[in-house]
Structure 1
């Protein structure tokens, strides 16, 4: 079990200490289930609403019961016109206005009053928020990642978190991308930076 310092013999299969673990829910917001997404990415919409969100609900409930932190990030500008966005988001036409419906977390897994919610304007949550600072202040050592898109913002969170010294876990059945192929390719590509687990495995681990 993880304690204040990493024990000798740490491996990807080492069980985490729930009190030093954070569940990071990435970009599961209304923009990802909007009428535009329903029309243009119907398979992805169904995957998010019928599979990813229910799995994340289970993870959140397990994290709360175990005393783990629940941290959310969403794509949302700090301004109404998006002038604070990263160059990449500007070039990509990716814009969610400050305070907009699109920037809110999907209601079924909405944050509670004392949860941490960090808006970002880049793919990498460690790059455009103070997540690293917050996690260290909370005493977090392990980060369990779920959300969308597997091959974009999830990928960045896993790689960057690993480089910053966190024990990273990606919950494969609580993530999604626009296609199954993209999802599976991403898991294969960044699997060397984390432990890839299922929702049930994490629920069991946190509740042991």
Structure 2
């Protein structure tokens, strides 16, 4: 199924197919969101680790290899690669937003210099690639990313990373509200479950972004000027 007809929600079941996407490399950025070491560690109990096993498998077998491929392709085509990660500046996390202080899964205390807060080795920044550190779900709301993109003349953003239904979705919505064109590489993203992943893609597709496969996204990128 083509990106033009996949992941249709109720709102767009009968909508016309969107126009072809053409991304100018010099005006496009690839934004990698929160693929950090903490999310690939075993959980506190064997039972909880088993519950998360499908997520670990998708990350190691699909998402990380696909992101490596997409990053390499974008770098070769002259697309700016930008990284975002969850990281607080204070050791006790006082600078975190409320959503990261609440009890439960979203409770995140990741001081910026701690090892588990770092981006996984396979997706580490290269050269002078920018990394923004955030204490919010949206990579736009909690950082100077908006200013960085505008200063570099970026108009379109390819989004990849985790979690589809949380930080990816929040960032996509923020970018769309700021009038950036947004494409989500669906096989470069993951949620805790495939059910959550696919449901969120249907929610955001065609309203806030266009959802496409990694290979389709690569095909959107024009030859450099």
> TM-score, normalised on structure 1?
0.91
Higher RCO (CA 8 Å, separation ≥ 6 residues):
2
Contact 1:123 1:153 in 2 (8 A): yes
In the other structure, the counterpart of 2:211 is 196
Number of equivalent positions: 198
Contact 2:30 2:74 in 1 (8 A): yes
Contact 1:12 1:195 in 2 (8 A): no
Deviations 1:79-107 (A, max 9, x none): 22211001111113211112011111110
Contact 2:163 2:190 in 1 (8 A): yes
Q: Does 1:167 align with 2:181?
A: yes
Rounded Cα–Cα distance in structure 2 between residues aligned with 1:89 and 1:127:
14
Rounded Cα–Cα distance in structure 1 between residues aligned with 2:183 and 2:78:
17
> Which structure has the larger Rg?
2
In structure 1, runs of 5+ residues without a counterpart are 1-10
Deviation at 1:18, TM superposition (A): 1.1
Higher mean alpha-carbon deviation, 31-40 vs 56-65, is at 31-40
Contact 2:27 2:155 in 1 (8 A): yes
Output the aligned Cα RMSD: 1.5
> TM-score, normalised on structure 2?
0.84
Rounded Cα–Cα distance in structure 2 between residues aligned with 1:70 and 1:81:
30
Rounded Cα–Cα distance in structure 1 between residues aligned with 2:72 and 2:19:
24
Equivalent position SS for 1:22: strand
The answer to which structure has the higher helix fraction is: 1
Deviation at 1:142, TM superposition (A): 0.4
Matches within 5 A, 1:14-53: 14-36=21-43, 39=49, 40-53=51-64
Deviation at 1:64, TM superposition (A): 0.5
Equivalent position to 2:138, from 107, 114, 124: 124
